[in-house]
Amino acid sequence: MIFVLYNIRYGTGSGWDYHLPVPFSGCLRHTEDRFSRISDYVTNLNPDLVGLVEADSGSYRNKGVCQAELMASRLGGESVFACKYDSGSFVSRSPLLKSQGNAVVSKLPILSAQEYHMSRGMKRTLLEVEFDTFSLFLAHLSLGYATRQIQIAEITERVLKSKKPVLLAGDGNTYRGESELKALLDATGLKNANEANTPTYPSRIPSLALDFILHSPKIAVKNFTVPKISLSDHLPLVVDFSVGKTRKGKTAR
């Protein structure tokens, strides 16, 4: 199975012009053309599963249409979207920000989907989507180190409660590197699909491995790549995996 993880920045672009004429003004621009190019690219990868970080659920930027639903229609699948802000916060009710979140697009049958709200941070939603043989957790962690560590600890607890093998993916904002995930990896036994810590950000001159795909030992990674394509400020991660076998190809028990 092919899984693509991509922080698409809502389809607002990749360059420094995002901050012109004033910082972050690019978040207000229309996104149909850019998202169409992103959707073309992802569709051509023929994935079974897509994790979209910083997706738009239907603001004016994308003419009121949910980006995840658009991609699902092209792939012949279904989608689940979760606003990344706490549902009880003012931010989650504002006209534009309430449309900002993370989404899962899947050609695999989705058994269930659930949102968890972590205790700290502005971005605090953890989305869990359950499939027949595994569960996918999708997150976008805080920019602040201390808050991020609290979020990682809470995600660790959720992963440990899973009764199925786990894919844990997202934008970790782990500016201090993989060491930030060590406690999670040690506690859960998850492995990093990006063994070489290939940088994913910024897309034009990658220097930081901010995005991650972690997996249970019962999920075997056959291939992992970080394609060099600058449709967003992050690079996508593409993993070919199977469930129920170890990396040596033996059946896991």
Predicted pLDDT of residue 20: 67
Residue 76 CB: number of other CB atoms within 10 A?
A: 8
Phi, psi of 46 (to 5 degrees): 55, 55
Look up tokens 């995840």; give the residue: 68
Query: What is the rounded CA–CA span in Å between residue 162 and residue 146?
Result: 25
Q: What single-letter amino acid sits at 179?
A: S
Task: Give the pLDDT confidence of 119-171 residue by residue, as tens digits.
Answer: 999 899 999 999 999 999 999 999 999 999 999 999 999 999 999 999 999 99
Predicted pLDDT of residue 92: 65
Predicted pLDDT of residue 61: 93
- Nearest in space to 224 (alpha carbons), one of 167, 165, 157, 139: 167
Tokens of residue 233, six digits: 């400020």
Per-residue burial over 125-154, b if 16 or more Cβ lie within 10 Å, else e, is bbbbbbbeebbbbbbbbbeeeebbbbbbeb
Q: Name, in order, each residue with C-beta under 8 angstroms of 50's C-beta and a sequence gap of 6 or more.
A: 3, 4, 5, 6, 42, 71, 75, 104, 105, 106
Predicted pLDDT of residue 25: 77
Can you list the residues of the chain whose pLDDT is less than 50?
Answer: 245-253
Predicted pLDDT of residue 248: 41
Predicted pLDDT of residue 4: 98
Residue ranges with strand state E in the chain: 2-7, 49-56, 78-83, 100-106, 112-117, 125-130, 135-140, 166-171, 191-192, 211-215, 219-225, 237-243
Per domain, the residue ranges of the chain are 2-243
CATH architecture of 2-243: 4-Layer Sandwich (3.60)
